[in-house]
Structure 1
């Protein structure tokens, strides 16, 4: 049996706002399909074409209005586990993304043998940006 994770999703309050933000991170649209009020929007990184990140709004057809509102509030409070973005150079990525308008919750810090920084998307989803471990052969 051959299995793999194809799409992982995050809840966002506004898909267009989220798309503009994720484009700053280097993501491009993979799928953007509408069915009435429902929109299936996924993005991906060129360097990782086998994986898509879904930018989904809580609501119909999956959630009732009360559940959708509760999910929006949890995301906005940062209650969801952070996502991890691996980069070659955390400090350089921090500078580039800061200039592009990404607001960081934590500046780059060296610890555990790596450098990491933190930020949130416009909906409150937390991200950790972690520098890839350098090969000992370099």
Structure 2
């Protein structure tokens, strides 16, 4: 059974890794805050993005993927803007990501994710 203990760490991912996690979520019916192909179209292909597990999430109708972690996502777009999103990630997929950030960077990213910022939905409305 998957662990329900949420890790208190931030992980950096490149756009390819992020798209892979997004596709995994889509195939498994987990939460994503954008449509299919949205990240490939709008995420900066050269940027580093950041995932921070925020809560344990369960789906009664998908017990094979429960629990999983709802992650806050600091996403950098092609226009250079950083926006807030959410992405559900399976524990094994998150754990497999390398730990490549120092404590100060993790703290800075976590603080950034806790301050009000433009969301993917708000950005999409403005750039329709």
Give the TM-score normalised by structure 1. Answer: 0.27
Higher RCO (Cα < 8 Å, 6 or more apart)? 2
Larger Rg: 1
Give the TM-score normalised by structure 2. Answer: 0.28
Q: Which one has the bigger strand percentage?
A: 1
